[in-house]
Amino acid sequence: MLYLIQVTVYTALLYIVYQLALKNRTSHTLSRIYLLLCAILPIVIPLIKIPDIHNNTIPAPAMDFFLPETVVLSVNNNPGSQVNWFSIFSAGYLLIALVLLSRMAFQYIRFTQFIKRHEKKSMEGVQVLLHTNAGPGSFLNYIFLPAADIDPFIYEHELAHIRQRHSADIICLRILRAIFWPNFVLHSITRELKIVHEFQADAPAAAHKETYIQVLLNDTFNTGRFGLSHTFFYHPLKRRIMMLQKTPLSRTKMRIAVVKCGSSAALIILGIIYLQSCKPQPNKSPQKINAVKIVYDTINAGAISGHREVYNFVENMPNPGYDMAEYLGNNIKYPEVARKAGKEGRVIIRFVVDERGNITEPQVVRSPDTTLSEEALRVVKAMPAWKPGMQAGKNVAVYFTQPISFRLN
């Protein structure tokens, strides 16, 4: 769900750049490329993360002994009373996507049947269908005309669609719209891309713009069309006529447009990647270790807490004398509030096993939710005493870090 929201928001942001920088400009090729990137890039952007940006750090000393991670699963005591909404949503989502893809496949089959029913004429490497009572229009390598006569302006227009492979753009957008159907921005991009296609196909007729405009303004009679095809009388005609009247951009202005549009889109993309690569800093518990200074040597790294030295590693490490994973698994209960709210994630608890083996100074280093922190902290505080660690024949205090993962079924 989050991924779909990200894709939709990122698509909208990139499309806004198009509206501000490229819409109704004569840079048709740039507009076409940018609109296609607007539809494709947001699918990839949420998956890109730069490593080592604002990584979580554990308070000094940093060389704690990590215990094996314990996983706590949410168990539904009454499975029959709970509806798996995620499975229902996933099934519904896939069903709608399959329906849309099937509709697209049906339109293609209908077009192939349409081709078989009509006579064809090969011209300049394309197939022209005559007497179709549909069109004028084009799709893939076919131009279909309603009558036997071939208007040169219309023919050149549809030939431009084929030579510039506009059908491939439409097929790509239709597939994306079917797979990412909640992304409503893709519908706007598809409409705008079709208009840009018309601008590109109209461009060769600019030398005879008056005559061509008259052709555009003729009655558009009821013509048949196909969902995947381009139709000659594609509205809005006003924009097409206005574009014919405009002077093409000079190379300098084109470069400026490319720089403006490219830099704006790049800033948005880089900003998004940076933000989603950042990780929150670790939560700091009110129970902070009162570390006066950190002592490092070639053998050990320890911190003096109060009037005692706390080690990271010692010759004989503390030993709980029981199975830690079993103890945590039997005593940690998934908080009901967190389960209902759909909260899950990893909680990291840091504590000290003192000279007598007691668990002291437990604190939350990182946690996705307060209720999960409280439960993990409660069980760690209640742990039975360990066999203390020893360094140089003396009992000493040692730091430990215990990761606990809470997962929903």
Give 387's DSSP letter: B
Show Cβ contacts of residue 346 under 8 Å, excluding neighbours closer than 6 positions: 69, 366, 367, 368, 403, 404, 405, 406
For residues 238 and 352, state if they share a domain: no
Q: What is the mean pLDDT of residues 283-300?
A: 35
Three-class DSSP category at 206: helix
128 within some domain: no
The amino acid at residue 384 is: P
The residue segments making up the domain with residue 247 are 2-54+83-109+146-277
121 within some domain: no
For residues 43 and 171, state if they share a domain: yes
Q: 316: which strand partners?
A: 390
What does pTM read for this prediction?
A: 0.57
48 within some domain: yes
- Looking at per-residue pLDDT, the higher value among 15 and 225 belongs to 15
Q: Which of 59-63, 80-84, 94-98, 323-327 has the highest mean pLDDT?
A: 94-98
Residue 270 has pLDDT above 90, yes or no: no
- Looking at per-residue pLDDT, the higher value among 218 and 199 belongs to 199
- Report pLDDT for 83: 59
Q: Is residue 10 within 8 Å of residue 146, measured between CB atoms?
A: no
Beta-strand relationship, 126-129 and 142-144: parallel
317 within some domain: yes
- Report pLDDT for 302: 43
Alpha-carbon distance 283 to 348, whole Å?
A: 10
Residue 299 has pLDDT above 80, yes or no: no
Q: Cβ-count burial of 385 within 10 angstroms (0-12 exposed, 13-18 middle, 19+ buried)? A: middle
Give 172's DSSP letter: H
- Report pLDDT for 27: 82
| Cα radius of gyration rounded to whole Å, the chain | 33
- Report pLDDT for 300: 40
Alpha-carbon distance 184 to 187, whole Å?
A: 6
Alpha-carbon distance 35 to 11, whole Å?
A: 10
For residues 376 and 246, state if they share a domain: no
For residues 290 and 272, state if they share a domain: no
Show Cβ contacts of residue 271 under 8 Å, excluding neighbours closer than 6 positions: none
For residues 36 and 161, state if they share a domain: yes
- In angstroms, how far is CA 53 from the centroid of its own chain? 19
For residues 235 and 326, state if they share a domain: no
